[in-house]
Chain A
């Protein structure tokens, strides 16, 4: 053994395999009450969120992002796409709060994407929906029906559902929508940047998890307001 260990180091190239996907759908309130500072902060945070995902080698290949906005109308502004493959749009505010329709749109995106994953032979992690609102659903919105659908689908592991309320949101109604295991979390001031940093860290952990693993999500301390 006259030669050093480096002479005998093992080494080999790895193949390019498609990665198992993890879909994160953002359902974002762009109603009139979000105008001004809140929407500006959210827009900044969304751009940082995309950068964070792109900077994570594994997450960049596994996490697909979709974005639904809801105000007076509901719009899917980003279909499920890897973070490197879309330009983050700048959100604009308008009108009332079709929150239920917005969340339903997010659920439809997940349902359709899962069908596509299965039909094309791809495996996937449990998707996430992240709802962010500063208000409450319009009066004509089917809150009860949505609540029941979310409970059933979360119970059946169809997706994980998280709701965040910023200044002015209706905690009672957001609690009604949310699954009991993940009650809504009030946002500290306009800490959207901290919220989206938490989201990118959390969803990255999910995308790197292995079957049966219990994931400890990062602390929400940087953005969550403590309720008293």
Chain B
């Protein structure tokens, strides 16, 4: 069902390296619209490449993360008053607690399935919005951004890494939940109108974000963490067209999956699993869509 004020596309596609190795797609992605509200909750999880059950871990995490955030917002009455009552401090406290509980649930899941806890390792990015604000939280890598009323795409998270270079953090990692101020746990809150947002796994970051650029003056490479507007804007507009044409969600996701696999040379060349969620909030901007 497409909620009246939102239209979304989401999909997780297996990478060519996983096909060669006979591995499953270890990414998971999910979007739900909370009934009788304007709220959307989205989650993306990227299972650790070296962990044999991480596809189970990522699927479990997106399902449970969405359920737990929905419950938390209901209990705190934030569904009615979210935009006025939610602060970054409150969101960090709540999401930190949810992530910690999710870690414990993954432990229980590993016991239930009689598999190693770490074999379920996966990252997690979640976002919740009613169009009037957006909140995001993450453990590990991937990217997220929102589109403001000026049509600018703004990053929402910094990929969190471990202490060693290139060490990926997962919900199962030891260090991120030592205290609420942990630099390994990311949170973000924007308290104004948004027009769209995106969450994506690291398999799509080279195709959609500026992530490694060269500063000639300083002879340094750096990560601008900048959403690439020519990537997102045409897809934003296409979603508006699809909304107008009243396409069903499964068709939209199928078209989106085709794009992730064959949309351009960067996406074709990518060997990792690929997931992107793109959600558009519909106010009057549906008129922006051509045709």
Contacts and interface: CB of A to CB of B under 8 A. Distances in A.
A57 B51 CA distance: 29
Interface size, B (range): 35 or more
Given A9-B259, A210-B49, A123 B166 contact: yes
Interface stretch (B83-91, B185-193, B218-226): B218-226
Interface string B81-102: 0000000000000000000000
Given A8-B255, A210-B15, A210-B49, A13 B230 contact: yes
Interface string A77-103: 000000000000000000000000000
Nearest to B278: A10
A208 B271 contact: yes
Interface in B196-223: 203, 206-214, 219-223
Interface in A191-228: 208-214, 216
A216 B206 contact: no
Contacts of B51: 212
A57 B264 CA distance: 13
A213 B21 contact: yes
B221 A121 contact: yes
A156 interface: no
Interface stretch (B55-63, B65-73, B232-240, B280-288): B232-240
A50 B250 CA distance: 45
B242 interface: yes
B247 A8 contact: yes
A120 interface: yes
Interface in A22-68: 57-58
A11 interface: yes
B122 to A, nearest CB: 12
B156 interface: no
B264 A13 contact: yes
Query: Nearest 6 pairs between A and B by C-beta?
Result: A212-B50, A10-B259, A212-B49, A14-B266, A12-B231, A13-B230
24 contacts: A3-B245, A7-B241, A7-B291, A8-B241, A9-B255, A9-B258, A11-B234, A11-B235, A11-B264, A12-B263, A12-B264, A13-B228, A13-B264, A14-B207, A17-B210, A17-B213, A121-B220, A208-B17, A209-B17, A210-B203, A210-B271, A213-B17, A213-B50, A214-B21
Interface of A: 1, 3, 5, 7-15, 17-20, 57-58, 118, 120-123, 208-214, 216
